């Protein structure tokens, strides 16, 4: 609770984030899905869902991960939680390398990182009562705890996420999408984790409910000392939630910086196109809209050089041969483009 003051002045906290401890560090993470085919089901090629992604998240901050669908942001989130096995790279969580943890050691560590899932309808077991859904994680890690205590804890959690006591004995199908997402959040909170990866937690909800859930997530961050990795495709949602934002394209992070830099002076052409697509509430202010041509290339067969050069309005010849590295252009502002210097 000692960094509540920091969190209240979130912007200040963001600008001074370099001083804080790193909770999660991802180094050159790759997740490739094999494509099997042929008579003996050999591996023909790979879908490079996440390719060479590196970033770090400080304690107490929120890193937003944005990108269009299929860019690998969900895969990245799931790989970090070890729900998928990384192909290469390193995941450091709280100073410990969790990349190759398996079995009971991994299970013991899972307590500290939880996930809020995208689809509130598919992420709750339809055969379980809400009470059982939230009890399960506590029971997994504290099997000796008295059921009375666990129940008390579960009821507190339910109240904390804004659900009444009698939700305990109801089934998931008796709730609306927003309420279901609250149940999912309560389940993720039950183990008092340090990191929560929210995988598009509001994209399946009505706009009116979205803001309630987002505000709940913000409040909980203060109360429970949480660090968020917030995955979304809605720029305004990410802006509302995050301290820093990473932009993903085709399995790569093309730009990462604190949210003000991203919005005020986006450096990467892809980021510029994304920001220009955000609707402007003031009709008098005319913005230039950058419309990208073509489709996202297949991650099975990504373009050579810069992955974005096939659609980039500023592309030059060498873009197709040189793969740009993510480098620090300004303090705390990284971009992967050879034209930015």
The binding site for another protein (CB under 8 A) comprises 78, 81, 83, 107-108, 110-111, 113-115, 117-119, 122-129, 136-137, 140-141, 148, 151-152, 155-156, 159-160, 165-166, 168-171, 173-174, 184, 187, 190-191
- Distance from C-alpha of 150 to C-alpha of 224, rounded to nearest angstrom: 18
- Distance from C-alpha of 141 to C-alpha of 37, rounded to nearest angstrom: 41
Handedness of CA 146, 149, 152, 158 (dihedral sign): negative
- Distance from C-alpha of 156 to C-alpha of 146, rounded to nearest angstrom: 16
The helix (H) or strand (E) run that includes residue 213 is: helix 207-224
Rounded least distance, CB 267 to another protein, Å: 35
Rounded least distance, CB 227 to another protein, Å: 16
Give the rounded distance of the alpha carbon of 137 from its chain centre. Answer: 21
Rounded least distance, CB 260 to another protein, Å: 33
**Is the Cβ of residue 30 or residue 109 nearer to another protein in the bound state?**
109
**Is the Cβ of residue 153 or residue 265 nearer to another protein in the bound state?**
153
| String of DSSP letters for 29-48 | EEEEEEEEETTTTEEEEEEE
Rounded least distance, CB 177 to another protein, Å: 14
* Bridge pairing between strands 195-199 and 227-232: parallel
**Is the Cβ of residue 168 or residue 270 nearer to another protein in the bound state?**
168
**Is the Cβ of residue 199 or residue 243 nearer to another protein in the bound state?**
199
Does residue 231 contact residue 276 with C-beta atoms inside 8 Å?
A: no
**Is the Cβ of residue 31 or residue 271 nearer to another protein in the bound state?**
31
Rounded least distance, CB 283 to another protein, Å: 40
């Amino acid at each position: 609770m000692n960094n509540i003051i920091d969190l209240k002045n979130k912007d200040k906290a963001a600008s001074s984030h370099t001083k804080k401890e790193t909770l999660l560090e991802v180094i050159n993470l790759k997740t490739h899905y094999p494509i099997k085919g042929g008579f003996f089901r050999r591996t023909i090629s790979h879908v490079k869902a996440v390719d060479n992604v590196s970033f770090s998240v400080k304690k107490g901050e929120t890193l937003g991960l944005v990108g269009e669908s299929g860019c690998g942001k969900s895969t990245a989130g799931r790989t970090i939680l070890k729900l998928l096995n990384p192909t290469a790279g390193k995941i450091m969580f709280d100073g410990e390398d969790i990349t190759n943890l398996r079995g009971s050691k991994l299970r013991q560590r899972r307590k500290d990182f939880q996930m809020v899932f995208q689809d509130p309808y598919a992420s709750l077991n339809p055969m379980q009562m809400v009470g059982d859904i939230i009890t399960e994680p506590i029971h997994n890690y504290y099997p000796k705890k008295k059921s009375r205590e666990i129940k008390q804890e579960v009821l507190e959690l339910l109240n904390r996420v804004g659900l009444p006591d009698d939700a305990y004995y109801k089934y998931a199908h008796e709730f609306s999408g927003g309420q279901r997402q609250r149940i999912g959040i309560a389940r993720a909170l039950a183990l008092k984790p340090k990191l929560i990866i929210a995988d598009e937690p509001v994209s399946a909800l009505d706009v009116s409910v979205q803001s309630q859930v987002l505000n709940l997530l913000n409040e909980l961050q203060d109360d429970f000392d949480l660090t968020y990795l917030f995955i979304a495709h809605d720029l305004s949602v990410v802006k509302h939630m995050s301290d820093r934002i990473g932009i993903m394209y085709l399995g790569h992070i093309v730009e990462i910086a604190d949210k003000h830099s991203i919005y005020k002076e986006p450096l990467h052409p892809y980021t510029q196109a994304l920001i220009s697509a955000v609707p402007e509430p003031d009709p008098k202010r005319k913005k230039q809209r950058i419309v990208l041509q073509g489709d996202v290339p297949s991650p099975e067969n990504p373009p050579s050089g810069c992955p974005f050069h096939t659609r980039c309005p500023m592309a030059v010849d060498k873009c197709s041969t040189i793969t740009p590295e993510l480098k620090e252009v300004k303090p705390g502002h990284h971009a992967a483009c050879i034209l930015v210097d």
